[in-house]
Amino acid sequence: MEQKEIVAEEKVIDKSTGVGILIVDQRQVYMAKLLEERGYRLITWDLREGQMPRGKDPIWCAGVLILPVPVSRVQDLARLEQCLIMHRYDIKMCIGGAFPQELKELLDQYEIPWMDVLTDSGVAMKNAIATAEGCIAELSRLMPVNIEDANIIVMGFGNCGKPIAEKLYCMGAHVSVVARSEKALSMAHYFGFMDYPMDAAIPYTEADAIINTIPALVITKKEIDLLHEDAVVLDIASAPGGCDSAYCKEKHVPYKLALGLPGLYCPKTSAMILLEAMPFGYKPNREKWKS
């Protein structure tokens, strides 16, 4: 079946259209505030306070429904699907990020237009900055030593790995990059990092920290056994991550799977980034900072 995904166009959603927002973190709170300031009629439901809204709740009658990013943050997807079907004639557009395949198929089946903002290259690039800053904040809490002068291995050199490596380098860390593709390795080398393919002799024994951005199991028992006693592992890859977390626990290696970092550390900036990709005509006012 041909997918009915839409993209942000020149046409801006009319302000007479109601906008419903399902809240799972502070990004949606800021999003609602910013849209309200632009004159949109908002209906919100905070999923942090309990269950999904009932099928008769006014939020389902809003013309535009904004789901969490990623959509998988909605725990009761079955209930969400039921409500979407029930109100398929009321909902003119469904906006979210990283829609599960089954939900995309359902939206297509009932001809509900949908938009995945995470497919926007601008969103991915800008969101990576927020992710990198949140990652470094998490790393500072996890490591028993300073980032400056620490030996840090970054697994992956994509949208997230690149700004993480750059910011760590600027903070004085000795950064090595491990990547799977020749293109990523070449880019890491161009930026001045030590670069290693996955099957190389990677200096795990010297690492004070490993940061993983690769959504595949790349940190196994073999790599964990090589770490020194104060080394830590921070995993920001999509759940379940790319590290054998059970073995880390067994070996007493500090490990954290840190997801949703933009929503935790930079929620307002992240909300602005997401809104720019949506058809509300939103543009951040940066002029006020210019002399």
End-to-end CA distance of the chain: 53
Q: Find the angle CA(21)-CA(23)-CA(29) to the nearest 5 degrees.
A: 85
pLDDT number for residue 75: 86
Is 10 a member of any domain? Answer: no
Residues 210, 255: one domain?
A: yes
In a domain, 91, yes or no: yes
Residues 66 and 93 placed together within one structural domain of the fold: yes
| 2 part of a folded domain | no
The reply to whether 206 and 136 lie within a common domain is yes
Q: How many Cα neighbours within 13 Å face the side chain of 283?
A: 7
**pLDDT reported for residue 4:** 54
Digitized pLDDT (tens) for each residue of the chain, 291 residues in all? 444 555 444 478 989 899 999 999 999 999 999 999 999 999 999 999 878 888 788 999 999 999 999 898 898 899 999 999 999 999 999 999 999 999 999 999 999 999 999 999 889 889 899 999 999 999 999 999 999 999 999 999 999 999 999 999 999 999 999 999 999 999 999 999 999 999 999 999 999 999 999 999 999 999 999 999 999 999 999 889 999 999 999 999 999 999 889 989 999 999 999 999 999 988 876 544 343
d(CA 220, CA 192): 27
Q: Based on the fold, state whether residues 83 and 147 are members of the same structural domain.
A: no
Assigned domain for 31 exists:
yes
Distances in whole angstroms, Cα of residue 20 to Cα of each of 39, 73, 279 = 14, 16, 14
Assess whether 96 and 152 both reside in one domain. Answer: no
**Of 263, 222, 260, whose CA–CA distance to 244 is shortest?**
222
Look at residue 4 and tell me if it is in a domain: no
What per-residue confidence (pLDDT) applies to 50? 79
pLDDT value for 5 = 56
Q: Are residues 218 and 283 in the same domain?
A: no
Domain of 132, CATH number, reads: 3.40.50.720
The total number of structural domains that make up the chain? 2
Q: Is 192 in the same domain as 242?
A: yes
Do 115 and 26 lie in one domain? The reply is yes
Core vs surface per residue 124-161: b (16+ CB within 10 A) or e: bebbbbbbbbbbbebbeebbeeebeebbbbbbbbebbb
In a domain, 178, yes or no: yes
DSSP per position, 1-66? ----B----SPPPPTTSEEEEEESSHHHHHHHHHHHHTT-EEEEEEGGGSSPPPTTSGGGGSSEEE
Q: pTM to 2 decimals?
A: 0.83
Instruction: Give the model's pLDDT for residue 11.
Output: 75
Asked if residue 206 and residue 135 are part of one domain, the reply reads yes
Structural domain includes residue 5: no
Stated as kind and residue range, the H or E segment containing 95 is: strand 93-96
Residue of 7, 230, 243 lying closest to 119 (CA atoms): 7
Domain membership flag for residue 1: no
Domain coverage including residue 172: 127-259
What single string gives the DSSP state of each residue in 139-168? HHHH-SS-STT-EEEEE--STTHHHHHHHH
Instruction: Please state, in angstroms and rounded to a whole number, the distance separating the CA atoms of residues 184 and 159.
Output: 11
**82 plus 179 within the same structural domain:** no
3-state class (DSSP) for residue 196: strand
Kindly list the strands in the beta sheet with 114-116, ordered across the sheet, starting from the edge strand earlier in the chain. Answer: 41-46, 18-23, 64-66, 93-96, 114-116
The answer on 248 and 176 residing in a single domain is yes
Task: Assess whether 112 and 62 both reside in one domain.
Answer: yes
